[in-house]
Amino acid sequence: MSAPRPTARAREGARPWDVAMVVPARDEVDLLPRCLASVVTAVDRVDTTGRVHILVVADRCVDDTEAAAAATLACADASIVRARCANVGRARQVGVDGALRVWPHDRTRRLWIAMTDADSVVPPHWLAYQLGAAAQGWHAVAGAVAVTDWGDRSSRTANALGAHRRAQRRSGTLAVHGANLGVRADALAAVGGVPAVAHSEDAGTVELLERAGRPVLRTLDLVVGTSARRSRRAPGGFSSLLDRLGASPCPSDPHERLDHDVLLDVPQHTPQRRVVPQQVVDLVTEQHVVA
């Protein structure tokens, strides 16, 4: 489905958008390859874009996350930013800053920042949808997520999440997820970048944009698959929300299940190339330390 037009907004010029895909990762050797494979597929489905650069922010990793990223992105225009960030907001902004150094300043007005998470899988039309919205004048796109792997979580948690989201919609609110967020680089820079907070940096970013009068498309038409794992990379994030919902009373009606669950056509396992240390060194472009 194509993105709707923003009210009273003129279409942008015809010059193709450059794209930076930002993926923060902390000890994600198992899930990151599947995420990056889906990102590469989304890139391949877009014919009219300019340059596309994929940035993985390896934040305080002690496993083989960097090697996994290098293997999956061996044939892509990509880089790995090795970082020590205090929180996920800073990690995302490190990726944005890395993107701004890839392109000259005079091209950033036509630079689109697409963000997802290392435990997520984007659909093939993900980038095309965001760029379609950008061409129609939207300055940001905030899509939905659907859990594709509930793991050991109970149906009670799934029911509670569905009820929670419907309550949000009745109040006129659609949740914002860093796993499914795109924004113009100049619009993000104008509001000071991604807030440097430990959680809810995604919602905070959208709030800043909307307060500044930037048109933000909040939509349920663009859905990214994510996990319901209990291992928390961002305390206070989606995993913490599921913990709280699973412990709270929830409807027993089966119709109260999550109402936009989807099955994404992605491989369960991503073939890995053998990576020699030099390949990792070639992709790691910098070290960024944030106290």
Q: What does the block give as tokens for 81?
A: 């930013």
Per-residue pLDDT band for 176 (boundaries 50, 70, 90) equals confident
- Return the amino acid letter for 8: A
For residue range 273-282, list pLDDT tens digits in order.
333 344 454 5
Q: Hey, CA dihedral for 9, 53, 196, 220, is it positive or negative? A: positive
Residue 262, classified by CB atoms within 10 Å of its CB into exposed (0-12), middle (13-18) or buried (19+), is middle
DSSP 8-state symbol, 247: T
Q: Read off the pLDDT of residues 192-245 as tens digits, 9 standing for 90 and up.
A: 999 999 888 999 999 999 999 999 999 988 989 887 555 555 555 555 555 665
Query: Predicted confidence band at 263 (pLDDT cuts at 50, 70, 90)?
Result: very low
Task: Read off the pTM.
Answer: 0.78
One-character DSSP codes across 186-223: HHHHHTTSS---SS-HHHHHHHHHHHTT--EEEEEEEE
| 156/254 Cα distance (integer angstroms) | 10
* Domains within the chain, CATH numbers bracketed: 18-269+277-289 (3.90.550.10)
Contacts with 91 (C-beta within 8 Å, 6 or more apart), sequence order: 24, 26, 57, 59, 83, 85
Is residue 98 scored above 90 in pLDDT? yes
Give the pLDDT confidence score for residue 265 in this predicted structure.
Answer: 37
User: Cα Rg for the chain, rounded, in angstroms?
Assistant: 18
Distance CA 53, CA 216 (A): 23
